[in-house]
Homo-oligomer: A and B are copies of this chain.
Amino acid sequence: MKRAPQRRVAVFTCMDTRLVDFLEPAMGIRRGDAMVIKNAGTAVLDPTGGVIRSLTVAIHALGCNELFVIGHLDCGMADLDVKQVEADMKRRGVPADAISSLKPDLEEWFGGFRDVYANVRRVTGLLVDNPLIPADVPVHGMMFDPATGGLEVVNAGY
């Protein structure tokens, strides 16, 4: 099997456990079809960070010519309890200075959001506007329902 994705698409989505073995089948994506990038919340917080690096490799080294940004309903990053997380970090021995060193502060470092649809629209827009993503690569924003496997189009970015 080849290293380059046969359907020449890259999917950027969330690390949520309910998407495993569920999102790709719902999209009709099989082994060899697509690059798949996952993080907490389908979030882009740094315009030259790891997500942009991965997409750049997918596009320029592996021939992806279309991007899908796929958020999902009931996302943990939409109701992250930063105070609870901070308390658990301290209880488990994460040093206070490691926590306080996170910029601009712990709440913003996590980059949670209220509205999963708004996050998909925001991230789609960030990719379209990012000079590192070529203008000839369309970016589709979609929402996945991790309970039913349903997908809906949120927006299309060009």
**Separation in Å of the A130 CB from the closest CB of chain B?**
8
A43–B132 Cα distance when bound, in Å, is: 19
On whether the beta carbons of B50 and A36 are closer than 8 Å, the reply is no
A98–B36 Cα distance when bound, in Å, is: 25
Which 4 A-B pairs rank lowest in CB-CB distance, beginning with the nearest? A92-B134, A98-B131, A40-B54, A5-B17
Binding site for B on A (CB under 8 A): 1, 3-6, 10, 15-22, 24-25, 29-41, 43, 45-46, 48-51, 53-54, 56-62, 74, 76-77, 80-81, 84-85, 88-89, 92-95, 98-99, 101-103, 109-111, 131-132, 134-136, 146-147
**Chain A interface mostly:** loop
Contact status of A50 and B57, CB under 8 A, knowing A20-B24, A31-B21, A131-B94: no
Q: Which residues of B contact A17 (CB under 8 A)?
A: 3-6, 31-36, 62
On whether the beta carbons of A53 and B40 are closer than 8 Å, the reply is yes
Q: Which residues of B contact A50 (CB under 8 A)?
A: 39-40, 43, 45-46, 49-51
Task: Identify 22 residue pairs between A and B in the complex whose beta-carbon atoms are under 8 Å apart, listed by A's number.
Answer: A1-B18, A15-B35, A17-B36, A18-B32, A19-B31, A20-B29, A20-B34, A21-B21, A37-B40, A39-B54, A46-B46, A48-B101, A48-B102, A49-B50, A56-B89, A57-B76, A61-B80, A92-B136, A93-B134, A94-B132, A95-B131, A99-B132
Pick the most buried of A36, A88, A111: most chain B CB atoms within 10 A of its CB.
A36
**Separation in Å of the A139 CB from the closest CB of chain B?**
14
